[in-house]
Amino acid sequence: MSVVDHNAIELAAPRISEADVGDYIALLKPRVMSLVIFTALVGLAIAPGHFHPVLAITSLLCISVGAGASGALNMALEGDIDALMSRTANRPIPRGRITPAEAMAFGMTLSFFSVLTLGILVNWYAGALLAFTIFFYVVIYTMGLKRRTAQNIVIGGAAGSLPPVVAWVAATGSISVEPLLLFLIIFFWTPPHFWALALFRSDDYARAGVPMLPVVAGPDATRLQILLYTIVLVAVAVAPWPLGYFDAIYGVTSLILGAGMLALAINVYVSRERSQSLRATRRLFAFSILYLFALFATLLLEVVVRAVAPWIGFGVG
Amino acid sequence: MDDKREQQGIVLTEAQKRSRRRRSIAIALALGVLVVLFFAVTIVKGPAVLNRPL
């Protein structure tokens, strides 16, 4: 006679994953990744000296995989609130395609390999900075700030601002003013961008209990903060031109785009009627993406023009 | 019949088999890329591959 009747213990059937490769790619937040790749590419392009293309591709790959890993870890920790928001309810974890534990293992593996590969193949300063970026996004922002303070995306924005700095450090092995200027531009761009999103998604955030500024301080206070941060952003984005770090093409583009961004932020500030306000915030949100992209694209264009000019006869003699 | 099922253990459905196969291929490709990357950088750096800061 056995002590335990084996029929009394019924083990639950093990869960067999049906997750496809596409579900794991969705965990990497491909749209965020594409912006990270682009800003990092600009960080590499403006770095002085020769950087071998193979090492440049390696750096970009590691930075983008590191960013994707942060996204996967973020989703692993936020499955509960993602399920409550319409914007995120379709992510693999709320849909039940991937478990939080699987996402965590995936994110940790990619983090480990991206940092290690960047450290071994390029340099350990860049590897360490990439590790710090992942740590900041996952531990400081996702675990620490997001559910606790309305300043979550202000401080957390530092993580999204670091990729061009990591790229510069990968290329040069040191730090300088130029990548810090890129850092500041993304840092001050983040609050108007995300608060515009939070304004027209505030019901979502309120339902999930995320203390975004419109939920905690109300839409009027958020509109004012958007305007103030946009003023600082435009000033910070134009400053590298008179300070002599970036050329006139960048300066003029930055002024024109800054004027557009400021006009839309003022429009958000004055539009208080519901449908008008919705339209104004959506416009600012959409334009803010174009603003950052165009600003960085101009820097890239300057580098390309400078490289090509001698070949086509400009700037020679 | 039940005994036979028990002996077979966990039987994957067609969908589970397909997704597992696709995931395995993706892992193999990722590892392949990693190998090519390490090889390419070793060739690019030459003997300097052993001479790194830190």
- Is B53's CB within 8 Å of A124's CB? yes
Q: Per-residue pLDDT for B10 more than 70?
A: yes
Residue A183 scores a pLDDT above 90: yes
Task: Tell me the shortest Cα–Cα distance from B54 to chain A, in angstroms.
Answer: 7
A299 or A312, higher pLDDT: A299
What is the three-class DSSP state of A199? helix
Q: What is the mean pLDDT of residues A131-152?
A: 97
Q: What is the mean pLDDT of residues A194-201?
A: 94
ipTM of the complex: 0.82
Contacts of B38 in chain A (CB under 8 A): 117, 121
Asked whether the predicted pLDDT for residue A210 surpasses 60, the reply is yes
Test the A interface: residue of B2, B17, B34, B52 with most A CBs within 10 Å: B52
Rounded to a whole number of angstroms, the distance from the CA of B1 to the nearest CA of chain A is 18
Non-local CB neighbours of A12 within 8 Å, separated by 6+ positions: none
A142-146, A161-165, A177-181, A245-249: segment of lowest average pLDDT: A245-249
**Mean pLDDT lowest among A20-24, A155-159, A313-317:** A313-317
Look at residues A258, A278, A188 and name the one whose alpha carbon lies nearest to residue A225.
A188
Round to whole Å and give the CA distance between A138 and A91: 18
Contact A126, A59 (CB under 8 A): yes
pLDDT tens figures, A45-85: 999 988 999 999 999 999 999 999 999 999 999 999 999 99
Contact check, Cβ <8 Å, A61/B34: no
pLDDT score recorded for residue A316 = 42
Q: Structure pTM? A: 0.90
At residue A317, the pLDDT reads 36
pLDDT bracket for residue B48 (50, 70, 90): confident
Residue A305's pLDDT is 87
Tell me what the pLDDT averaged over chain A comes to. 93
Q: Scanning the structure block, which residue is given the tokens 């531009």?
A: A185
The pLDDT of residue A288 is 97
Residue A132's Cβ-count burial label (10 Å; 0-12, 13-18, 19+) is middle
Contacts 24+ apart (CB under 8 A), A201-209: A201/A85, A201/A87, A204/A84, A204/A85, A204/A86, A204/A87, A205/A85, A207/A84, A207/A85, A208/A81, A208/A84, A208/A85, A209/A81, A209/A147
Q: Which residues 17-36 on chain B approach chain A with CB closer than 8 angstroms?
A: 19-20, 22-23, 25-26, 34
Which of chain A's residues have a Cβ under 8 Å away from the Cβ of B8? none
Minimal C-alpha gap between B44 and chain A (Å)? 8
CA–CA gap between residue A25 and residue A113 (Å, rounded): 16
CA A42 to chain B, closest CA, distance in angstroms equals: 22
Q: What's the mean pLDDT in A26-40?
A: 95
CA-based nearest residue in chain A for residue B17? A18
Q: Are A122 and A166 in contact (CB under 8 A)?
A: no
Contact between B16 and A52 using a beta-carbon 8 Å cutoff? no
Task: Select from B33, B34, B44 the residue whose CB has the most chain A CBs within 10 Å, as the one to mutate to test that interface.
Answer: B44
* Count of CB atoms situated within 10 Å of the CB of A103: 27
Residues in chain B with CB shorter than 8 Å from the CB of A20 are: 19, 22-23
Closest residue on chain B to A121 (Cα): B41
pLDDT at A20 > cutoff 80: yes
Q: What is residue A1's predicted lDDT score, i.e. its pLDDT?
A: 46
d(CA A243, CA A235): 12
Please give the DSSP secondary-structure letter assigned to residue B46.
Answer: G
Cβ-Cβ contacts under 8 Å, B10 against chain A? 13-14, 16
In angstroms, rounded to a whole number, what is the distance separating the alpha carbons of residues A78 and A70?
A: 12
Q: Residue A152, class by beta-carbon neighbours within 10 Å (0-12 exposed, 13-18 middle, 19+ buried)?
A: buried
